[in-house]
Amino acid sequence: MKKLLLFCVASVFLSGCATTVPVSAKFPEAPEMLLVECDKLDKIGKDKVYFSEFLTTVVGNYNKYHVCAAQNAMWKEWYIKQKEIFDKVSE
Amino acid sequence: MWIINWLPEAVVHLIFLAGIVGTIAGFVLGFIPFVSKYKLPIQIISLLLLSLGVYLEGGLAEKAKWELRVKKMEARIAAAEAEGQKVNTVIVEKIVTEKEYIRLKGQKVVEYIDREVKVFDSNCTVPEVAIKAHDMSAENEAPPTGIPSVSQYENRL
């Protein structure tokens, strides 16, 4: 009986120690457009080409780089802005 | 506090009320015959009930405070999610426009090559080694000689 009483009293007072975290913020998912991998660079793939053909391939590769760099810049912008918003919630 | 979640609020108020009534009865209304007969047990039980009641009432108040905080937090999270979604939309629009613009500029350069550079094709040949160098670079490959293996390279670092 004494033990039961002790258990009841202890369980009531120890219940104050129980803590729960009811709400948690989730970091947002990145847009799928940013998850796309950069294009592979083109090769000439022939032994003989005209200079203009060669240059066109080079320009195409530069273009691919610029697209990839823009995507990378967007990743940075996305992360900085989302982190700012996320941090504001937990302030 | 699990006990507060488990016990209905009315029971908590009842315990507290019973504690107050019992304490008043046990300490003040001793002149009533029934009370005077069971004075000590009434005093002990009602004091215990009062202590438990005060404790649980405190818990209830704390719970209400937490619930308010949780609601505020949920509202903030919902606002943040909406703001995050807006950022996503802006970024997607931006990247689509930028990619299109970059492609357009590249296309213009290609048109320029066709117009201005093609005329030099007949007297400007590209040596095979230059093509090889270009293709190796495009694939991030190295010439067969003169480059250490990855592990050798790491050891050097």
Which pLDDT tens digit goes with each residue over A26-73? 888 999 999 999 999 999 998 899 999 999 999 999 999 999 999 999
Domains: count for chain A = 1
Whether A18 is in a domain gets the answer no
Nearest-CB residue to A43 (from B70, B103, B138): B138
Q: Does A70 touch chain B (CB under 8 A)?
A: yes
Q: In this model, does residue B157 exceed pLDDT 80?
A: no
Whether A81 is in a domain gets the answer yes
Tell me what pLDDT residue B141 has.
Answer: 87
Whether A37 is in a domain gets the answer yes
Structure pTM?
A: 0.70
Q: Describe the crossing of helices A51-90 and B128-138 by its angle, rounded to 10 degrees.
A: 20
Which of the four pLDDT bands, split at 50, 70 and 90, describes residue B34?
Answer: confident
Q: In this model, does residue B91 exceed pLDDT 90?
A: yes
Q: In this model, does residue A1 exceed pLDDT 70?
A: no
Separation of alpha carbons B62 and B65, rounded Å: 5
φ, ψ for residue B145 (rounded to 5)? -115, 155
Whether A69 is in a domain gets the answer yes
Q: Is there a contact between B76 and A89 if contact means CB atoms under 8 Å apart? A: yes
Question: What ipTM, to 2 d.p.?
Answer: 0.73
What is the rounded average pLDDT of the residues A76-85? 95
Which of the four pLDDT bands, split at 50, 70 and 90, describes residue B148?
Answer: confident
Tell me what pLDDT residue A10 has.
Answer: 67
Single-letter amino acid code for the residue at B65: K
Question: Cα–Cα distances in Å, from A30 out to A50, B88, B131, B151, B157?
Answer: 43, 7, 39, 35, 35
Separation of alpha carbons B140 and A72, rounded Å: 20
Where do the structural domains in chain B lie, given as residue ranges?
2-139
- Could you list the residue range(s) of the whole structural domain that residue A47 is in? 25-90
Question: Cα–Cα distances in Å, from B112 out to A39, A55, A59, B106, B119?
Answer: 24, 11, 11, 10, 11
Nearest-CB residue to A85 (from B84, B99, B103): B84
Lowest mean pLDDT of A67-76, B35-44, B84-93, B102-111, name the range.
B35-44
